[in-house]
Amino acid sequence: MSEIALELRGLTVDILTDGGVLHAVRGVSLTARRGETLCVVGESGCGKSLTTLAVMGLLPEGARRGAECMELAGENLLTASPSRLRALRGDRMAMIFQDPMTCLNPSLTIGDQMTETFLHHRKGRARAALDRAVALLERVGIAGAAGRLGQYPHQLSGGLRQRVVIAMALMCEPDVLLADEPTTALDATVQLGILQLLAALQREMHMALVLVTHDLGIVARIADRVAVMYAGEVVEEGEVRAVFDAPRHPYTRGLMNCIPQPGITAPGTRLGTIPGLVPYLVGDVAGCAFRGRCPHAMPACASPVPVREDAGHAWRCLL
């Protein structure tokens, strides 16, 4: 097994609201290895985006983070000084977001933005930075890369912008790339191109890719390992084939039943559903957060639920 690039244990994120403390992330543990793609999948409100922001140290005002362990290639992120964190961000760990337009500064050229990271972290010469930028733009499939350096973000289409954002993130060859719903805003054909690119880059640079998404299709095709999140916790985790072939947690099973599969779901049949709504996580939450919607709920589910494990496939359920 390759070395661990990012180790996360017991992450909690609390958000202060008028009505009390919102426990958005409750004890999440993840391990991302070099050369491996870990997908964090869940629906809105499960805390998956906050998890990646917490790792990067980019939580919004009013959010408090706590963790037992948060290590980047062995270096402890919890005790690192703010200046050390700034040095790590962009250099050893990078993040790309859903909307490329908000990642890119509309008043700076592509070239300026891409070389900014490199020059800041590597203190290299401008020539070296530009060469690397051109090389990366070509690698991400942008034709006429040298000419693009002088262009502004609004002159590019959504798919091209996302490629530029990816190239920017890779300028310093990070150990970990965190991607928060990078293709949600893109068309299907464009999405596929971006995913192919991410997969290829990950192989070449032997980095760890942590991809956050709500799309189980993406997870199935691109991930090596998957972590399913619900209401701030990881409810199931394991190798992607194991989890998809035999999902153990009722939420994972429910999710898979909801998706129409062409060729399998006969036209005109009804899809599976998960009744109810996601619980509001303010105040103390005891026991399994899914029990209100679970077809197999038992009285014992109200107490803290143990994590079961079977050959690397873990799930948080009594069943």
Partner 1 sequence: MSGAQAVRRARWRGNVGLIIAALVLGIIVLMAVAAPLIAPYDPYEQILDDRMLPPAFVDAERASPTHLLGTDNLGRDYLSRLIYGARISLLIGFFTMLVSGVIGTVLGVAAGFFGGRTDMVVSFLVTTRLSLPVVMVALAVVAVLGGSLQVVVLVLGLLLWDRFAVVMRSATMQVRGRDYVTAARAIGCSVPRILWSEVLPNVVSGLVVIASYEMAQAILLEAALSFLGLGVQPPLPSWGLMVSEAKEFMLFEPWMIMLPGAAICVLVLAINLLGDGIRDLTAPEGRR
Partner 2 sequence: MAVPLVSAPLLELRDVERTYRVGAGLFAKKRVLTAVAGVSLQLARGEVLGLVGESGCGKSTLARIILGLEAPSAGEVLLDGRPIGSIGRLERGRLVQPIFQDPYSSLNPRRQIAAIVGLPLDVHGIGTAGERRDAVSEMLALVGLSPHHAASFPAQLSGGQRQRVAIARALVLRPALVVCDEPTSALDVSVQSQILNLLMDLRERLGLAYLFISHNLAVVHMLAARVAAMYLGRVVEQGEAQQVLTAPRHPYTAALLASVLTPDASLGLPDMRLGTVFPNPLAMPPGCSFHPRCPLAFERCSVERPVLREVEGDGLAACHLAPEAGAATGKEEPLP
**Which one of 64, 125, 203, 241 is in contact with partner 2 (CB under 8 A)?**
241
Considering beta carbons, is residue 199 or 297 the nearer one to partner 2? 199
Say whether residue 268 binds partner 2 (CB under 8 A): yes
Using CB under 8 A as the binding rule, whether residue 296 contacts partner 2 is answered as no
238 binds partner 2 (CB under 8 A): no
Neighbours of 143 (CB within 10 A): 9
Partner in contact with 221, chosen from partner 2, partner 1, none, beta carbon below 5 to 8 Å by kind:
partner 2
Residue 19 binds to partner 2 (criterion: CB under 8 A):
no
What is the rounded distance in angstroms from the CA atom of residue 208 to the CA atom of residue 102? Answer: 24
Q: Let me know: does 296 contact 307? Beta carbons within 8 Å.
A: no
Work out how close the CB of 13 gets to partner 1 at its nearest, in angstroms, rounded to a whole number.
13
Cα 272 from Cα 256, distance rounded (Å) = 8
Q: Which does 82 bind (CB under 5 to 8 A by kind): partner 2, partner 1, none?
A: none
Q: Output helix, strand, coil percentages for the chain, rounded to the nearest 5.
A: 35, 25, 40
Q: For residues 255-283, b (16+ Cβ closer than 10 Å) or e, as one string?
A: beeeeeeeeeeeeeeeeeebeeebbebee
Tell me if 285 sits within 8 A of 26, measured CB to CB.
Answer: yes
157 binds partner 2 per the rule CB under 8 A:
yes
DSSP assigned state of 43: -
Q: Do residues 216 and 256 lie in contact, with contact meaning Cβ atoms separated by under 8 Å?
A: yes
- As measured in angstroms, the least distance from the Cβ of 16 to partner 1 is 3
295: contact with partner 2 by CB under 8 A: no
Q: Which one of partner 1, partner 2, none interacts with residue 20, CB within 5 to 8 A by kind?
A: partner 1
17 binds, among partner 2, partner 1, none (CB under 5 to 8 A by kind): partner 1
Confirm or reject binding of residue 255 to partner 2 (CB under 8 A). yes
The pair of three-digit structure tokens given for residue 221, joined into one six-digit string: 């095709």
Q: Which is closer to partner 2, CB of 96 or CB of 219?
A: 219
- Both ends of the chain: CA-CA distance in Å? 30
Residue 254 makes contact with partner 2 by CB under 8 A: yes
Residues that bind partner 1 (CB under 8 A): 14, 16-21, 62, 64
Q: Is residue 17 within 8 Å of residue 282, measured between CB atoms?
A: yes
Q: In what order do the strands lie in the sheet with 208-213?
A: 93-96, 176-180, 208-213, 37-41, 225-230, 233-239, 313-316, 307-310
Q: Please list the residues that pair with 37 across neighbouring strands.
A: 209
Q: Does 216 bind partner 2 (CB under 8 A)?
A: yes
- Binding to partner 2 by residue 18, rule CB under 8 A? no
Contacting positions for partner 2 (CB under 8 A): 43-44, 141-143, 157, 159-160, 163, 187-193, 195-196, 199, 214-222, 240-241, 243-245, 254-263, 265, 267-274, 277
